[in-house]
Amino acid sequence: MDKEKKNLNRREFFKGGIAAAGTLAVVGTATFILDKSAAKSMPREDFLRPPGAISEEDFLYGCIKCGLCVQICPVHAIELAGAGEGLGFGTPYIAPRIQACDFSCDALQCVETCPTAVLDFRPFKEEGVRAVEKAAAEPGADLSTVNPFEVQKVAMKEAVRMGKAHVNRNTCLAHKGEGFKGNPRGTDFKGVHRSPGKNEVSASPLKDRVFDREVCDLCITECPIGEKAIIQRRSRSGRKLIPHVLDGCTGCGVCQMVCPTAQPSIVVEPF
């Protein structure tokens, strides 16, 4: 009797499982149709997407919300949008004031790991190949001393275009001719950053760093791209040294993260 009861329970369990699977399939199909029809009308153009993101409309439709880009980012710069974002729920984005993309992975790992290519690695790969070919073609180039990876990683990072930084002249310390001394975000700040020019292997807590600048220039000195992205130049009057963002800005958001004013005086606007 107990054996018959056990077999009956097993049959009911499998029947229930099949029914549940069928229900999920119907819901999944409905969601697929909703995504395809709604993707055109619900783009999140204010989201700073990870490197290599395709157009927002195609991104919303193509992203499977697997979270692999979140898991592989060494500085945890990528977050997943919450349930209140509607169609964008579960899609990856970067909040640079909290944690910027400092390129300390050196390989655009988030792009490489994307299984659907909504983070498209092809243009970066092509840029890396061109850079290596260019280095090899330089007069007197000694290929035995050229590290292709070092050449490629620089070229790939410089090819990123997530957005572009814009300076608020009314609050920027440099525009006001003021300096900065201390920790830019306070000792409770959890963000990390690999400072350029210091031969650091990995990112370290920003809260552990103290700066002393006669004229604030943190957005310039801490930029992982350097003078192709942002430079310090004289104001029109010639009396001030101010930051000037160039077209080489990748939109990584490091400048926004390290800016010491209460509300960041330099902000990345997504493309």
In DSSP notation, 135-187 reads HHHSTT--GGG--HHHHHHHHHHHT--SEEEEE-TTT-TTTTT--EEE-SS-T
Please check whether residues 129 and 187 belong to one and the same domain: no
Please check whether residues 136 and 210 belong to one and the same domain: no
Last residue of a domain, one of 158, 180, 206: 158
| H-run or E-run covering 178 | none
Q: What is the pairing mode between strands 92-94 and 241-245?
A: unpaired
Strand partners, 53: 119
Give the pLDDT confidence of 87-143 residue by residue, as tens digits. 889 999 999 999 999 999 999 999 999 999 999 999 999 999 999 999 888 887 776
Rounded Cα–Cα distance for residues 128 and 118 (Å): 19
Give the pLDDT confidence of 139-158 residue by residue, as tens digits. 877 767 778 899 999 999 99
Please check whether residues 154 and 178 belong to one and the same domain: no
Angle at 68 between CA 73 and CA 148, to 5 degrees: 55
How many CB atoms lie under 10 A from the CB of residue 105? 21
Please check whether residues 171 and 239 belong to one and the same domain: yes
Please check whether residues 171 and 260 belong to one and the same domain: yes
pLDDT band at residue 64 using 50, 70 and 90 as cut-offs:
very high
Please check whether residues 185 and 154 belong to one and the same domain: no
Give the pLDDT confidence of 193-226 residue by residue, as tens digits. 999 977 888 999 999 999 999 999 999 999 999 9
Residue 265, pLDDT score: 98
Please check whether residues 171 and 261 belong to one and the same domain: yes
Residue 43, pLDDT score: 58
pTM for this one?
0.82
Residue 107 lies in a domain: no
Residue 165 has pLDDT above 60, yes or no: yes
Distances (CA, A) of 57 to 31, 38, 78, 87, 154: 16, 9, 19, 11, 29
Please check whether residues 243 and 180 belong to one and the same domain: yes
- Whether 172 contacts 265, CB under 8 Å: yes
Residue 188 lies in a domain: yes
Residue 213 lies in a domain: yes
Last residue of a domain, one of 158, 185, 210: 158
Please check whether residues 149 and 227 belong to one and the same domain: no
**Domain range for 193:** 163-270
* Number of domains the chain contains: 2
Please check whether residues 147 and 211 belong to one and the same domain: no
Residue 169 lies in a domain: yes
Please check whether residues 173 and 261 belong to one and the same domain: yes
Please check whether residues 143 and 189 belong to one and the same domain: no
